[in-house]
């Protein structure tokens, strides 16, 4: 394999890893949004408890669509 081919393959692998990590975080955030316990999200996704807690904090501070439009329930 040429150097260019090798670099291309490495870039594809790095992209695949990043995509998988992003999908895992989306799944974790969705689980948190439906009220699943943090320990369950850690076990299900394989993310660290620290990462899940950070996602949980980010989720808690994200305004709901109603809040963004000034509507209150």
Query: Which residue bears the tokens 């992003």?
Result: 22
Q: What is the pLDDT of residues 13-63, one digit of tens each?
A: 999 999 999 999 999 999 999 999 999 999 999 999 999 999 988 876 555
What is the rounded distance in angstroms from the CA atom of residue 73 to the CA atom of residue 3?
Answer: 59
Q: pTM for this structure?
A: 0.70
Query: Which residue bears the tokens 């699943």?
Result: 36
Q: Where in the chain are the domains? A: 3-59
DSSP the chain: --HHHHHHHHHHHHHHHHHHHHHHHHHHHHHHHTT--HHHHHHHH---HHHHHHHHHHHHHSPPHHHHTT---
């Amino acid at each position: 394999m040429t150097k260019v081919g090798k670099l291309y393959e490495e870039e594809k692998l790095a992209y695949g890893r990043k995509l998988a990590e992003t999908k895992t975080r989306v799944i974790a955030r969705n689980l948190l949004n439906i009220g699943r316990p943090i320990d369950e999200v850690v076990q299900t996704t394989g993310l660290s408890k620290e990462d899940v807690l950070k996602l949980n904090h980010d989720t808690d501070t994200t305004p709901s669509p109603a809040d963004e439009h000034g509507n209150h329930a």
